Amino acid sequence: GNSVTQMEGPVTLSEEAFLTINCTYTATGYPSLFWYVQYPGEGLQLLLKATKADDKGSNKGFEATYRKETTSFHLEKGSVQVSDSAVYFCALDITNTGNQFYFGTGTSLTVIP
């Protein structure tokens, strides 16, 4: 079947620290991969995406590379800020007929000054 496994949280980092949130997936075909972010009290927002192997998605200093050989899509940021505190969701979309996303359980990140 299709599923996403995400690093368990919560994660607490100091400002300017390096962030990695691990994400691995199982898919019956060739999925597109996404990272969504949910800030406190808000809905999910797309952070970045990659639609094929070796693609790198990037946005707001965050990066993730689609690794088909390791079925992974780890999220990284070189220097986190307090404003990055949120819940991060890894997701895949496998269908070629519309949208059917599979989400990971989410990783809560708190950045302290």
Partner 1 sequence: KAGVTQTPRYLIKTRGQQVTLSCSPISGHRSVSWYQQTPGQGLQFLFEYFSETQRNKGNFPGRFSGRQFSNSRSEMNVSTLELGDSALYLCASGEGSSYNEQFFGPGTRLTVL
Binding site for partner 1 (CB under 8 A): 32, 34, 36, 42-46, 49, 51, 89, 91, 93, 95-106
Q: How far is the CB of 16 from partner 1 (least distance, A)?
A: 30
> Is 43 or 113 the residue whose CB approaches partner 1 more closely?
43
Residues ≥6 apart with Cβ < 8 Å to 41: none
Q: How far is the CB of 79 from partner 1 (least distance, A)?
A: 26
> Is 4 or 80 the residue whose CB approaches partner 1 more closely?
4
Distance between CA atoms of residues 90 and 22, nearest Å: 9
Distance between CA atoms of residues 4 and 87, nearest Å: 15
Q: How far is the CB of 46 from partner 1 (least distance, A)?
A: 5
Q: How far is the CB of 108 from partner 1 (least distance, A)?
A: 12
Distance between CA atoms of residues 58 and 3, nearest Å: 23
Which single residue is written with the structure tokens 């079925």? Answer: 71
Residues ≥6 apart with Cβ < 8 Å to 100: 93, 94
> Is 98 or 113 the residue whose CB approaches partner 1 more closely?
98
